C-alpha cells in the first residue's frame, strides 16, 4: 500500500506558467487537503475536499484551484505561477471520524 | 476561530536528556489535538492524538502528551531523547468533525551527542 503519492517531487517553473501538482491516495479516505509549508509559518491550508465532487477554500486559496473527480485523486493547479508561490506543497487525506491526516512526501516548487 | 501557538521555535537538547515541546491552543468548542513529526525531506506523520478520555496520551517512539483543558495546553514530552528524534514537530487542533485542522508553526528539536 503506497498511501499518498505526489508528483513531481520537485519542479522549477517560470513565472506565468501553468502547473498542476498531482496527488493520489489509495486509502479510500473521503477527505483530502492541500497545504503549503513555508519557513516559520507552519502548514497553511490551500483547499480541501470533504468528498468526491466537492471542494472548499482554505486559508490561502488565491492563485490555486482544485478538482475532485473521484475519491483517489486531488490535483492542485496554479493557473499562472508567481514567485510567492515558491513553497513545499503537501497533499493529505483524512478520516472524518477522527480528523487524523496522512501526508504525502511533498512537492518542492520554485517559481522564478 | 481556533489557533495554535508553539512556544518554542527551536529546542536544542543533549542525547538521553528529557524534553518538553510546548503547545497552547484556543478554541470555543471541543477539540481534537494532535502532534505530528516531520523528518528532513519527508511529509508529516502522526505522533499521537487526543480525541477524548484519558488526558495522558502515549504515542510512537516513546513520546507522550497531556491534554490540560484549564490551561488549554497539549505539551509533548519524552523522558530520554535520541539523535534520531531530531526533526520538526507540529502541534495541531481541529474542531471535532469540522474537517479543518489548524497547525502550529512548528518546533525544531535538535538532539546533540
pLDDT in tens, A23-62: 999 999 999 999 999 988 889 999 999 999 999 999 899 9
CA distance A37 to chain B (A): 9
Beta-carbon count within 10 A of A54 CB: 10
Q: How confident is the model at residue B57 (pLDDT cuts 50, 70, 90)?
A: very high
Q: Which residues contact B105 (CB under 8 A, 6 or more apart)?
A: A40, A41, A42, B6, B9
Q: Which residues contact A112 (CB under 8 A, 6 or more apart)?
A: A12, A13, A14, A15, A83
Q: Is A106 an interface residue toward B (CB < 8 Å)?
A: yes
Q: How confident is the model at residue B67 (pLDDT cuts 50, 70, 90)?
A: very high
Nearest to B43 among A42, A94, A106 (CB): A106
Characterize the bridge pairing of strands A107-111 and A10-13.
parallel
* Cell numbers placing A99: 480528523
- The pLDDT value given to residue B2: 79
Amino acid at each position: 500500500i503506497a498511501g499518498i503519492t505526489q508528483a513531481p517531487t520537485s519542479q522549477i517553473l517560470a513565472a506565468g506558467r501553468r502547473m498542476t501538482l498531482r496527488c493520489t491516495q489509495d486509502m479510500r479516505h473521503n477527505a483530502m487537503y492541500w497545504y503549503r509549508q513555508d519557513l516559520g509559518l507552519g502548514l497553511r491550508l490551500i483547499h480541501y475536499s470533504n468528498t468526491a465532487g466537492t471542494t472548499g477554500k482554505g486559508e490561502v486559496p488565491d492563485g490555486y484551484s482544485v478538482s475532485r473527480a473521484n475519491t483517489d485523486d486531488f490535483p492542485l493547479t496554479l493557473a499562472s505561477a508567481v514567485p510567492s508561490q515558491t513553497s513545499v506543497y503537501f497533499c493529505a487525506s483524512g478520516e472524518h471520524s477522527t480528523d487524523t491526516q496522512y501526508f504525502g512526501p511533498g512537492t518542492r516548487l520554485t517559481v522564478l | 476561530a481556533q489557533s495554535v501557538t508553539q512556544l518554542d521555535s527551536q529546542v536544542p537538547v543533549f542525547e538521553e536528556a528529557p524534553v518538553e515541546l510546548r503547545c497552547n491552543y484556543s478554541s470555543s468548542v471541543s477539540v481534537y489535538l494532535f502532534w505530528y513529526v516531520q523528518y528532513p525531506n519527508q511529509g508529516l506523520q502522526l505522533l499521537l492524538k487526543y480525541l477524548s478520555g484519558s488526558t495522558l496520551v502515549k504515542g510512537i517512539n516513546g513520546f507522550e502528551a497531556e491534554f490540560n483543558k484549564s490551561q488549554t495546553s497539549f505539551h509533548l514530552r519524552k523522558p530520554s531523547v535520541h539523535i534520531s528524534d531530531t526533526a520538526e514537530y507540529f502541534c495541531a487542533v481541529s474542531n471535532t468533525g469540522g474537517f479543518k485542522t489548524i497547525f502550529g508553526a512548528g518546533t525544531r528539536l535538535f538532539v546533540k551527542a
